[in-house]
Every structure is written in structure tokens, then in C-alpha cells.
Amino acid sequence: MPDGVESMQSPFTAFRATAPAHHPPPPIMVVNPMSGPSIVIGATFTADAIEPTLAFWMRELGFQYHIQIAPYNQVFQLLLDPAGALATNRGGVDIVLVRFEDWAHDLPQLARIRATLRDRMKSSPIMDGAQFARGVEDAYRLMWRRWCSTAHSQL
């Protein structure tokens, strides 16, 4: 080796020596699986106002769900966190509420889309009520035939 090469250091050596070890951030929310099923709600807006009404109906209907509302505007964090509330909520209900205006950066374009939305929906195949009814009837007919072909038909 040429003289002095062994004593040369990278400018990043000092940084590596002083940099703290990388640790992933803690999850935004964690569901305690021992507390029973949960309803986890994430939203792009403050969703706390729905908790009392949801809790009322859960009690009225006899459901024993624990309601957890994520911090304000943490939708992406909840969706991407493999150890977070949505990913670990086994046997529970996950709800993501999105107000698209919160993500809109081109407000004039959003106004143009909104102005034509009703007409586009009216012309959409999903708004064909007769076709939808036929689809539901076909589904019920298929379910009925399957049910009748099993041992249930002996009742």
C-alpha cells in the first residue's frame, strides 16, 4: 500500500461511530387481543364525534366491541404499520374514513370533478336498478338452490 493509505478514513467514519442505532418507530395504535374484538377507526379528519353514537348502538345491539379511534390524520400510518391497530385487529372491524378533499392539492380540478360527478354516476352501469335487481335475484336463487341441495332440504 502507498504511504498514508492505511491511515486515511472515510469522512463518514465519524458519523457512523456517533449515529444512534436505528429502531423502527412504535406503532401508532396497538390493539390488545385480550380485550376482545375491536372496532378500529382511522380518518383523515377528527372522527372522535362518532364514538358515543357507535358505542350506544353497540350496547343496544348487544355487541361487545372495544372502540378505538386513531389519532387525527394517521390513515397512511395505520395502513402501512405491520404492527399497528389495523394489521393486528383479528376478529374485529377496521374502518377507514377518507374525506378526499383532505388529500386534494388541485382544488379547481376537484371542483370540475365534483360538478360532473352526478351525471357520470347516473350514466354508470352500477346505477342500472333493473340490472342490479336481476343480479340480486340471481344470487338469492343460487343460494337457495345450494341450500336445498344440502342436508337442510330434509328438514
Using one digit for the tens of pLDDT, what is the confidence trace for 23-33? 655 655 555 55
Q: Residues 126, 97: one domain?
A: no
Q: Are 37 and 91 in contact (CB under 8 A)?
A: yes
Q: Are 67 and 42 in contact (CB under 8 A)?
A: no
Q: Residues 62, 96: one domain?
A: yes
Q: Residues 89, 118: one domain?
A: no
Beta carbons within 8 Å of 77's beta carbon, 6+ residues apart? 28, 84
Q: Residues 93, 140: one domain?
A: no
Q: Residues 118, 155: one domain?
A: yes
Q: Residues 109, 95: one domain?
A: no
Domain count, the chain: 2
User: What is the percentage of the chain residues whose pLDDT exceeds 90?
Assistant: 17
pLDDT at residue 67 tops 60:
yes
pTM comes to: 0.50
Domain boundaries, position 155 = 104-155
* Arithmetic mean of pLDDT, 98-116: 83
Q: Residues 93, 118: one domain?
A: no
pLDDT for position 80: 87
* Arithmetic mean of pLDDT, 73-91: 86
